Amino acid sequence: MNAVQVRRQIHVSGLVQGVGFRPFVYRLADEERLAGSVMNTASGVVIEVQGELDSIAQFLSRLHSETPPLARITRITVVDQSCIDDRQFRIVESHKDQAVHTLISPDVTVCGDCLREMFDPQDRRYLYPFINCTNCGPRFTIVRSIPYDRGYTSMAEFEMCPRCQAEHDDPRSRRFHAQPNACWQCGPRLELWNGDGWFIATHDPVAETVAALRAGRIVAVKGLGGFHLAADATNAAAVELLRERKRRVEKPFAVMVPDLAAAGALCHIDAVEGEALQSRQRPIVLLRKRAGCNLPEQVAPFHRELGLFLPYTPLHHLLFAIGGFKALVMTSGNASEEPIAIDNEEARERLGKLADFLLMHNRDILLRCDDSVARVTGNTLRPLRRSRGFVPAPVFLHQEIPPILAVGGELKNTICLTSGAQAFLSQHIGDLENLAAYSFFNQAIEHLKNILEIEPVAIAHDLHPDYLSTHWAQEQRGLPLIGVQHHHAHIASCMAENHLDGKVIGFALDGTGYGTDGNIWGGEVLIADYAGFTRAAQLEYMPMPGGAAAIHEPWRMAVSYLAHYLGPDALKNRLPLHEEIHPAQIQLALRMVERGIYSPLTSGYGRLCDAVASIAGIRQKVNYEGQAAIELEAAMDDGADGAAYPFELEQRAGRLVIGMEGLFRALARDVSDRVPAGVMSARFHRGLADILVKVAHLLRARTDLDRVCLSGGTFNNVFLLKNLSRQLSAGGFQVFTQNQVPCGDGGLSLGQAMVAAHLRRL
Ligand code: ZN
Ligand code: ZN
Ligand code: FE
């Protein structure tokens, strides 16, 4: 006879729609012999189960332990129900009129099951480059609008063949409700074009592509979120050619390798880095080059690190399997600093000049999404660029806030929309100085609002009056605007992802951010909560001769600091900058500084790094933002002895001002003593860590605060992040850093949203 029956209603919230959750529940219920139903609702998934108590307990525990790979459960609540006459388990379609709040999954790497099928000669999808299932494949970049249904994706124009349809309709199939389901019969196809815009009739575009790459040609390859420009990374001439055509001088190229072993032959890889490389998100992971790394220097000149990633589309796997490549440069398909190309027509036009061939397909990419970039520091994977694979998964907040649109900064822009206790950051939009990036910015805002069904009640923006994102915000009608100071937003971003409330000591270090006094901040220590901040300490202000020109030419800051602290005569001594810069230019810069013309004041840490890099002889001019600081760190001789350079502290106008006279005296002495650059770099970085720790102690004594947040792009600097964290922790501080969103300007929008939510007093 039947044991006692019970019935339970289970509410599941989180990322549980469009990720194979209902068929998973169906299978569990079936295996545990439970009757009932499962359906999507506005807030997640509602399950009803009826059966023996033990079976239901088992069902609940498996719900947690066997969650499908793409799903993420944030909460489960269970309610008792009275039993009804129920014998079987059903998947119930949601009501059409019900507002179903669907979280769209990010695009993820092809799964092991699909790969096995693709390389199985007996399988009907043998070598099919668009194979996918409920556990893998494109999502975010093919969705036009919600609900997540094939008709609202760029798969709409492909009608499923009967066999694909049968899989799609069968709850026991791995492809149940897999919207992009496709095969040779019914799905997208590859096509090959040459750079002059001619279609190439071939029955095997992959083999032709492989042959071209082997011959040292450059091929534009259409991927998940846009095009890559591919070249054989072991062929120095091919890599050089790609650099010339892309007009990319020294910025390193990302390299795709076939598997973990191939990655390990080029770079040192620890367990966390190995996991990151193989994760579903497949970011580009920055790794330390091995001494025996035999790729040509042109791949990543002057760098100790190399950005590696593993294949993530079926097509990538085919290229490696058929071509046998050890490594391919796979850099984003654009001319320098333009957004990545996604459209076939656009690609033929823009990329035809850069590539010899274009390997394309007829499944549209609706929204561009660049590769994500990350690095492991202190055993934690930290995003430098949070994009493909991560977006649009939310950052979970510790409290509900009103719907806010935050439009980010100017460089490495992302935007953020909030809903309840979730913050949705957009993919990497890029530098808004560029007109094409600006239109992408517009499009990303509309698309995110659309697929998330969020109508913001306020717009948060940076205080900088000239940022295009600020202009955009000011052009919107009908919504209140909230300006948020740049470094306050950095600290709030760190607080938000760490679920902090109340006041913290915030170290915000970066290159540039508009200050409330109209000067350019960037070496700031704030006492902050979400609603406000006081500026407790700063690097001493210094003039930037030539304004923005100083950002491109580090020697200008060397002139400024040396003249300020040691007097103009210090420039008569022999310095590395004299070898590259014309004396008249140096004189001109000096005069600008002395007279205060064309010389805005900055407390930016990035500018201090510029000056030190120039004096140490590392670099007088840069080709990309942050290059001097990056190379200054890379040059560091970790084993160097020699004392840390001294900094001074002074109380001025109610705050601590960090002076650098001692630092520049010592630097000048080291230059004349011909101390190697690596030693100077080490002494500089140690000195900086020491003074910041000292500031933290002083502020704790005054405020009783012992929680420290580290944010701003400077904390991509491994040495500072590690050493400052270690020294502060040893001093009894609780140290919080970022690992969900970038600590650089890519994470600003999250902080802006949090500040705006608290300033609005809602
Ligand atoms: Zn799959
Ligand atoms: Zn089919
Ligand atoms: Fe910043």
624 and 518, same structural domain? Answer: no
Rounded CA separation 61/78 (Å): 12
> For 542-604, where are the alpha helices, taking DSSP H only?
549-552, 554-566, 583-595
The DSSP result for 458-478, as a single string, is EEEEES-TT-HHHHHHHH--S
Q: Which domain holds residue 332?
A: 190-361
The CATH number of residue 470's host domain is 3.30.420.360
The DSSP result for 184-236, as a single string, is TTTS--EEEEETTS-EE--S-HHHHHHHHHHTT--EEEE-SSSEEEEEETT-H
**149 CA to middle of ligand 2, Å?**
17
Q: Give the CA angle between residues 110, 277, 205 to the nearest 5°.
A: 45
**174 CA to middle of ligand 1, Å?**
8
* Phi then psi dihedrals of residue 500, to 5 deg: -95, 150
**373 CA to middle of ligand 3, Å?**
18
> Which tens digit of pLDDT belongs to each residue from 207-221?
999 999 999 999 999
**64 CA to middle of ligand 1, Å?**
21
486 and 409, same structural domain? Answer: yes
198 and 247, same structural domain? Answer: yes
**pTM for the structure as a whole:** 0.93
Counting ligands in written order, the one closest to the CA of 178 is 1
3-state helix, strand, coil in the chain (%, to 5): 35, 25, 40
**131 CA to middle of ligand 1, Å?**
7
**743 CA to middle of ligand 3, Å?**
8
How far from chain centre, in Å, is Cα 296?
A: 27
How far from chain centre, in Å, is Cα 49?
A: 40
Counting ligands in written order, the one closest to the CA of 485 is 3
Residue 2 banded pLDDT, cuts 50, 70, 90: low
Counting ligands in written order, the one closest to the CA of 155 is 2
596 and 581, same structural domain? Answer: yes
Residue 762 banded pLDDT, cuts 50, 70, 90: very low
Q: What average pLDDT does this structure show over 503-516?
A: 97
Counting ligands in written order, the one closest to the CA of 133 is 1
Counting ligands in written order, the one closest to the CA of 524 is 3
**27 CA to middle of ligand 1, Å?**
18
The tokens of 679 are what?
A: 């030693």
423's enclosing H/E stretch is: strand 416-425
**360 CA to middle of ligand 2, Å?**
20
Q: Select from 34, 69, 95 the last residue of a domain.
A: 95
Q: Select from 95, 124, 152 the last residue of a domain.
A: 95
The CATH number of residue 46's host domain is 3.30.70.100
524 and 659, same structural domain? Answer: no
User: In the predicted model, what is the mean pLDDT of the chain?
Assistant: 93
Q: What average pLDDT does this structure show over 191-200?
A: 94
Which of 140-154, 285-299, 335-349 shows the highest mean pLDDT?
Answer: 285-299
The tokens of 322 are what?
A: 């058929």
> For 224-285, where are the alpha helices, taking DSSP H only?
236-246, 260-266, 271-278
**680 CA to middle of ligand 1, Å?**
52
**156 CA to middle of ligand 1, Å?**
20
**549 CA to middle of ligand 3, Å?**
18
694 and 636, same structural domain? Answer: yes
Give pLDDT, residue 31: 93
Q: Which residue has the tokens 């108590």?
A: 53
Q: Which residue has the tokens 């668009």?
A: 130
Task: Please state, for a pLDDT cut of 90, what percent of the chain lies above it.
Answer: 82
Please, is 302 exposed, middle or buried when counting C-beta atoms within 10 Å of its C-beta (0-12, 13-18, 19+)?
middle
**Does 112 fall in a domain?**
no
Counting ligands in written order, the one closest to the CA of 487 is 3
342 and 210, same structural domain? Answer: yes
Q: What average pLDDT does this structure show over 326-334?
A: 93
750 and 664, same structural domain? Answer: no
Number of domains in the chain: 4
**336 CA to middle of ligand 3, Å?**
22
**Does 290 fall in a domain?**
yes
Amino acid (one-letter) located at 116:
R
**Does 77 fall in a domain?**
yes
**130 CA to middle of ligand 2, Å?**
11
Counting ligands in written order, the one closest to the CA of 128 is 2
Counting ligands in written order, the one closest to the CA of 173 is 1
Q: Select from 57, 74, 95 the last residue of a domain.
A: 95
Q: What average pLDDT does this structure show over 408-424?
A: 95
Counting ligands in written order, the one closest to the CA of 626 is 3
**280 CA to middle of ligand 2, Å?**
25
Give pLDDT, residue 744: 97
Which three-class secondary structure state does DSSP give residue 316? helix
**282 CA to middle of ligand 1, Å?**
15
Which three-class secondary structure state does DSSP give residue 528? strand
625 and 493, same structural domain? Answer: no
Q: Give the CA angle between residues 290, 296, 300 to the nearest 5°.
A: 70
Task: Please state, for a pLDDT cut of 70, what percent of the chain lies above it.
Answer: 98
**498 CA to middle of ligand 3, Å?**
19
Rounded CA separation 188/597 (Å): 60
338 and 314, same structural domain? Answer: yes
> Which tens digit of pLDDT belongs to each residue from 97-120?
555 566 788 999 999 999 999 999
> Which tens digit of pLDDT belongs to each residue from 282-309?
999 999 999 989 899 999 987 889 999 9
Beta-strand relationship, 404-406 and 227-232:
unpaired
Nearest 10 degrees: Cα torsion 174, 175, 177, 182: 170
**416 CA to middle of ligand 1, Å?**
30
Q: What average pLDDT does this structure show over 77-104?
A: 79
551 and 515, same structural domain? Answer: no
Counting ligands in written order, the one closest to the CA of 70 is 1
Counting ligands in written order, the one closest to the CA of 711 is 3
> Which tens digit of pLDDT belongs to each residue from 519-545?
999 999 999 999 999 999 999 999 999
**Does 733 fall in a domain?**
no
The CATH number of residue 354's host domain is 3.90.870.40
Counting ligands in written order, the one closest to the CA of 68 is 1
DSSP category for residue 125: T
The CATH number of residue 693's host domain is 3.30.420.40
Counting ligands in written order, the one closest to the CA of 134 is 1
**Does 149 fall in a domain?**
no
606 and 699, same structural domain? Answer: yes
Counting ligands in written order, the one closest to the CA of 20 is 1
Distances (CA, A) of 140 to 105, 452, 682: 6, 11, 44
Counting ligands in written order, the one closest to the CA of 160 is 2
Q: Which of 175-179, 269-273, 353-357, 359-363 has the lowest mean pLDDT?
A: 175-179
Rounded CA separation 540/525 (Å): 12
**601 CA to middle of ligand 3, Å?**
17
Give pLDDT, residue 641: 81
Amino acid (one-letter) located at 549:
A
**Does 138 fall in a domain?**
no
**595 CA to middle of ligand 1, Å?**
65
Task: State yes or no: pLDDT of 649 exceeds 60.
Answer: yes
3-state SS string for 25-57:
HHHHHHHCCCEEEEEEECCEEEEEEEEEHHHHH
**715 CA to middle of ligand 3, Å?**
10
Counting ligands in written order, the one closest to the CA of 490 is 3
Give pLDDT, residue 95: 60
Rounded CA separation 232/237 (Å): 9
Nearest 10 degrees: Cα torsion 622, 625, 629, 630: -100
Rounded CA separation 704/337 (Å): 45
Question: How many CB atoms sit inside 10 A of residue 324's CB?
Answer: 10
**299 CA to middle of ligand 2, Å?**
40
**467 CA to middle of ligand 1, Å?**
42
Amino acid (one-letter) located at 207:
A
Give pLDDT, residue 69: 84
**Does 504 fall in a domain?**
yes
**444 CA to middle of ligand 1, Å?**
27
**182 CA to middle of ligand 1, Å?**
12
Give pLDDT, residue 15: 81
> Which tens digit of pLDDT belongs to each residue from 679-732?
999 999 999 999 999 999 999 999 999 999 999 999 999 999 999 999 999 999
